[in-house]
Amino acid sequence: MCGIVGYVGSQSALDVVVAGLKRLEYRGYDSAGIAVLADGGMAAAKKAGKLANLEKELVERPLPAGSTGIGHTRWATHGGPTDLNAHPHLDNAGRVAVVHNGIIENFAELRAELAERGHALSSETDTEVVAHLLAEEFSACADLAESMRLVCRRLEGAFTLVAAHADEPDVVVGARRNSPLVVGVGEGEAFLASDVAAFIAHTRSAIELGQDQVVELRRDGVHVTGFDGSPAETRSYHVDWDVSAAEKGGYDYFMLKEIAEQPKAVADTLLGRIDASGSLTLDEVRIAPGALREVDKVVVVACGTAFHAGLIAKYAIEHWTRIPCEVELASEFRYRDPILDARTLVIAISQSGETMDTLMALRHAREQGAKVLAVCNTNGSTIPRESDAVLYTHAGPEVAVASTKAFLTQLVACYLVALYLGQVRGTKWGDEIRAVVRDLSRISEEVEQVLETMEPVRELARSLASKNTVLFLGRHVGYPVALEGALKLKELAYMHAEGFAAGELKHGPIALIEEDLPVVVVVPSPKGRSVLHDKIVSNIQEIRARGARTIVIAEEGDETVVPYADHLIRIPATPVLLQPLVATVPLQVFACELATARGNEVDQPRNLAKSVTVE
């Protein structure tokens, strides 16, 4: 959600910050603002709506030039998306400016205290109290970093804060608790942002901020402490992608670009995982083989699309390792008192590595003594840092809110984890593992083949733009694919879409079938699961007999489904467990095209944020 940018240097802060905010638009927002330190004072502008509204305001009422500034794109939590509630927020004297991501849980109590001391707060936000508290502390110590440390010790909740003060014109201060914030270090300049995309055009040198840390940015360097003022250890890293990777590259939407990037993303996730002998070498898995051999239960925790990847992972983990596997919605996990111990392996899946529900589930698991392995796409993010091991997906930046290449690479990573467990525990022979790896290595080309045959899918999607409902059916690993297809349509087309296990059709959902209702059916291979294949063909016949329009996804060479398919989408024949890697792609294209035909914003669907960093 909210995008944050801070800058100290010699360039125009206005230009740097606004450009950074543009690169963070994908996170989702409903207002934007900026503050610049100039001429001994603080100048700010903020507007509800898209960043273009702020840019228009800056043209009509320009801010003075300055080389220190902070900016924000807000996704409303406390208070509606109005000009007044937009960030930055200033104190009554207009000397302090603050931007904020997260939720301050004790803001009402703090607001009441400030009101008693004569402060006049004008917005409905929880953020504004921080500006006033910082002003109070600064009046006593004349040190913004120390003021931030003192204020943070009073705050409850999850938050990232970035602030500037007119009396320290060459300083920007940030603080982090349970919410993302990363430092960029350049030559004679420094950056703060909620995502490296905001400053990747200027530097690829980044520093991780840990939990409960405050960072002070100056032109000549950065200084990091804990909330208590103690020196803090940090880790520097190099961002391994450049600014062009976060740009559209000629595509109308980031989502289209990211769908097209999936063959490369899948290949990159496999790269370097196999040694010369054909054995898996997952360097980021720092859990000792002996500990993995003692695991007697695997629990996957994730949200949204990542949850669907976990459902598919369950089939592979149980089949290849014979370890029981549960898949849990991270948002529900810790509230049902799950049974965990030192022999439980928890796999936490998150594209951003900052998903708050997943992070809190991870922490609960570690408190119970379980080992945690993260599957993540973002180097240096919180979830990998707090896990015992991490497998990075190497998908590159994913900007569109609706996840595509992250999903496929999460699947590949989960397959690798399952195979690695099978290798360590001896439930899979070396030649069996090598055979699966060979199949995985061909998936990249097979995804490319699917992408080359998608024009009929696009035409079909455009023809269905006026429909109100689409249903999705699948069996075995096709069931989570059906759930993912329905989720994509909900996210992008804003229409009713549901995914069902095909075997449950006669247990209620068949009542929804009516004349000309589009029903997408993911058909398993007739070779690997012939019994399931026969049963789902019967399901297709049942819904077609009741007037539904059948849209069938089936592998090449499967002629059994032809008489019952109003629309047939062919995918390459793959081993059963790997079929989701190719079967999901047409559903991504279908949802994107249908949303476009309905005139929707594909990259930034309404009400959604890329990374959900509050519970």
Active-site residues, by number, are 2, 610
Which of 118, 102, 116, 206 lies closest to 152, judged by CA? 102
Return the bridge partners of 222, or none. Answer: 217
Length of the chain: 615
For the chain, how long is the longest CA-to-CA vector?
80
User: Cα separation of 14 and 44, whole Å?
Assistant: 10
The token pair at 567 is: 């629309």
* Residue 411 Cα to chain centre, angstroms: 15
Which of 381, 360, 409, 352 lies closest to 611, judged by CA? 352
Helix (H) or strand (E) run with residue 326 in it = strand 325-329
DSSP per residue, 482-524:
HHHHHHHHHHHH--EEEEEEGGGGGGTGGGG--TT-EEEEEPP
The token pair at 427 is: 């439930």
| CB of 204 closer than 8 Å to CB of 242 | yes
Spatial strand order of the sheet with 157-165 comes to 89-90, 96-104, 157-165, 168-177, 213-218, 221-226
| CB of 423 closer than 8 Å to CB of 293 | no
Spatial strand order of the sheet with 469-474 comes to 496-501, 469-474, 518-522, 549-555, 567-571
The token pair at 149 is: 């440390």
Spatial strand order of the sheet with 68-74 comes to 41-48, 31-38, 68-74, 3-8, 190-193, 182-185, 205-208, 235-238
* Residue 459 Cα to chain centre, angstroms: 30
User: Cα separation of 521 and 479, whole Å?
Assistant: 9
- Count Cβ atoms below 10 Å from residue 112 Cβ, excluding itself: 10
Q: Side chain identity at 306, as an amino acid letter?
A: A
Which of 110, 108, 111, 212 lies closest to 153, judged by CA? 212
Return the bridge partners of 71, or none. Answer: 5, 34
